[in-house]
Structure 1
Amino acid sequence: MTAVDGRRLARTEERNPRSTSIDRMSTIDLLRVINTEDHGVPVAVAEVLPVLAIAVDLAVEALSGGHRIHYVGAGTSGRIAVLDAAELIPTFGLEPGRVVAHIAGGTHALTNPSEDAEDDEEAGVAAVSGVVAGDVVVGVTASGRTPYVRAALAVARAKGARTVLVSANPASPIGAAVDVHVAPDTGPEVLTGSTRMKAGTAQKLVLNAFSTAAMVRLGRTYSNLMTDMLASNDKLRDRQLRILAEATGAGVDRCRQAFGVAGGDAKVALVTLIAGTSVERARQVLAEARGHVHVALRMLDACGT
């Protein structure tokens, strides 16, 4: 870290010596510099996977216990968090309100610059007003010092929620005050301080991995297939039938019939096709297995039904 006026700066704010001449480069050379810097992002994320695993386990514990996950962020970080939360509903059939995202400046900030909102600590406190003990609050901030996020995490922890910080600053002043700090060190940006670049990419990778791993652990897939996805258009309905066919080896026509008999529940249809059991029995055993298809199939095999 360097210091300006006595204030220590995050590595994301440092000047990158490999890009000091970008304003004199050809277009292709400029793009190569950006791309070369981007190569280091997944490497940085890989180094924090053991810590991320702890955060995933906290999320699984919370969601399986009926609690919620809250994302809190500002600017690019907040927009990435909103995107991740929104996509869990169609991808995994997650009930609305189970994973929610709060962005500084509200919905206006999704498509408009709202940099001043990140300093609003009162708004951060208000964002977590509905948090209760047992929830998990994930603060997302590249710098690791955003006041909106800091205030939200402090209040959440006081309420008894578990807290996670996702930053690009291993030395974040907030880091010591949370349960888990996931901080891939992506280093100085190509454009000094522009954390929409490498730091933002790292946050996207981290949240993708965090939420996907949590959903898989909660039984929202079978193998690597999206058995719980919401099929709300023709493309997705076709995909749902292909998933059933891939998982069971049955033809598309048979899958369509099983899907209809199962009342549109793809996971129930899958179990009936693989185990040759009734819809009622498949639904019962899936409930007992808490939605885990592998567990349900083992249970059916064990009792011969």
Structure 2
Amino acid sequence: METTTEKESLYNHLEQMQVSEILEHINKEDQTVPLAVAKALPQIEKLATATAEKMKEGGRLFYIGAGTSGRLGVVDASECPPTFGVSFDTVVGIIAGGDGAIRKAVEFAEDDAEQAWNDLLRYQINDKDVLVGIAASGTTPYVIGGLRKANTHNITTGCIVCNSGSPVAAEAKYPVEVVTGPEFLTGSTRMKAGTAQKLVLNMLSTCVMIRIGKTKGNKMVDMQLTNNKLVDRGTRMVMNETGLDEETAAALLLKYGSVRKAVENVGN
């Protein structure tokens, strides 16, 4: 299939451009990405709603992808435990070629249509879970194979792609198609397509975590206290919620390990 992500760049002779020109043109293209995401909001809503419903019942969220798409899934998954206090097996990011592919590309890993399901079986994926395939082109065999196999096991499937009418979207019950068009550097989908995928992943995981009760008001009350900055932030949150002084709030926070638990145990 012809994909817009692989179409010729609207710009040429890049090597002849001044640095300011290169930056201006990249920035101009980047500004189109949120508009493309906005068009996909109804699709994102359906996927987020279905995912939240599954996770309320104890299900997990899995991401699969190759290259940049796989790395973005791993990033989003890895940020959920410190941000929302969920366990590390609640949101799982899997990249074609294994964790080593996060830093170094693994040749032809994305072309194996069987491997994604083998990777998912290590986590005992089941019909309580949700699987989201991430693929800028929408043609990655690793992702297509994983979604197809998941469908045969009655697992809720979704995807995040940057072309319309793709094979990946055809396999997903809840497809999200953010059509970002040609890249500034022809075919370099780590640019606009990657930015679009990151925005959608931010929206998906944040929306789901809010819906399953991992926030309060507008605060990350279950965040992990992994550094001094977060301890200070948590202390201020406890102070604002309870009226306690800083020293007492900090002691309570460190004793119970989260803002939510600290506030719930005031006076104990």
Q: TM tier, shorter chain?
A: over 0.9
Code of the aligned partner of 1:196: R
Map 1:214-233 → 2, pairs under 5 A:
214-233=208-227
State yes or no: 1:74 paired with 2:39.
no
Map 1:96-115 → 2, pairs under 5 A:
96-115=88-107
Does the CA-based 8 Å contact 1:186-1:199 persist in structure 2?
Answer: yes
| Displacement of 1:51 | 1.0
Post-superposition CA distance 1:39-97 (Å, at most 9, x none) = 00111111111110111111111111111111000000000000000010111101121
The whole-number CA distance in structure 1 between the counterparts of 2:134 and 2:59 is 20
Match of 2:119 in 1: 127
Match of 1:10 in 2: 3
The whole-number CA distance in structure 2 between the counterparts of 1:45 and 1:94 is 27
The whole-number CA distance in structure 2 between the counterparts of 1:147 and 1:81 is 17
Does the CA-based 8 Å contact 2:68-2:190 persist in structure 1?
Answer: yes
Match of 1:303 in 2: none
Shift of the 192–268 alpha-carbon distance from structure 1 to 2, 3 Å rule, reads same
Match of 2:53 in 1: 61
Code of the aligned partner of 1:37: E
Code of the aligned partner of 2:176: V
Code of the aligned partner of 1:90: P
Post-superposition CA distance 1:181-202 (Å, at most 9, x none) = 1111110000111101000000
Task: Specify every segment of 5 or more residues in structure 1 that has no aligned partner in the other structure, as ranges.
Answer: 1-7, 280-305
Match of 1:35 in 2: 27
Match of 1:254 in 2: 248
Larger Cα-atom Rg:
1
SS in 1 for 2:209: helix
| Displacement of 1:208 | 0.9
| Displacement of 1:174 | 2.5
The whole-number CA distance in structure 1 between the counterparts of 2:89 and 2:50 is 18
SS in 2 for 1:121: coil
Shift of the 115–198 alpha-carbon distance from structure 1 to 2, 3 Å rule, reads farther
Shift of the 250–110 alpha-carbon distance from structure 1 to 2, 3 Å rule, reads same
Which stretch shows the higher mean deviation, 182-191 or 226-235?
A: 226-235
Which stretch shows the higher mean deviation, 242-251 or 36-45?
A: 242-251
Post-superposition CA distance 1:110-161 (Å, at most 9, x none) = 1101241000112122122222112100000000010000000011111111
Q: Percent of aligned pairs with the same residue?
A: 41
| Displacement of 1:177 | 2.4
Match of 2:158 in 1: 164
Does the CA-based 8 Å contact 1:10-1:171 persist in structure 2?
Answer: no
The whole-number CA distance in structure 2 between the counterparts of 1:271 and 1:228 is 12
Map 1:134-145 → 2, pairs under 5 A:
134-145=128-139
Large movers: runs of 4+ above 4 Å: none
SS in 2 for 1:163: strand
State yes or no: 1:182 paired with 2:176.
yes
- C-alpha RMSD over aligned residues: 1.6
Does the CA-based 8 Å contact 2:14-2:22 persist in structure 1?
Answer: yes
SS in 2 for 1:222: coil
Match of 1:241 among 224, 232, 235: 235
| Displacement of 1:203 | 0.5
The whole-number CA distance in structure 1 between the counterparts of 2:176 and 2:165 is 11
Does the CA-based 8 Å contact 1:52-1:182 persist in structure 2?
Answer: yes
State yes or no: 1:117 paired with 2:109.
yes
The whole-number CA distance in structure 1 between the counterparts of 2:183 and 2:258 is 46
Code of the aligned partner of 1:214: V
The whole-number CA distance in structure 1 between the counterparts of 2:252 and 2:231 is 14
The whole-number CA distance in structure 2 between the counterparts of 1:112 and 1:157 is 30
Match of 1:92 in 2: 84
Shift of the 90–21 alpha-carbon distance from structure 1 to 2, 3 Å rule, reads same
Does the CA-based 8 Å contact 2:133-2:168 persist in structure 1?
Answer: no
What TM-score, normalized to structure 2? 0.94
Match of 1:302 in 2: none
| Displacement of 1:249 | 4.4
Shift of the 95–20 alpha-carbon distance from structure 1 to 2, 3 Å rule, reads same
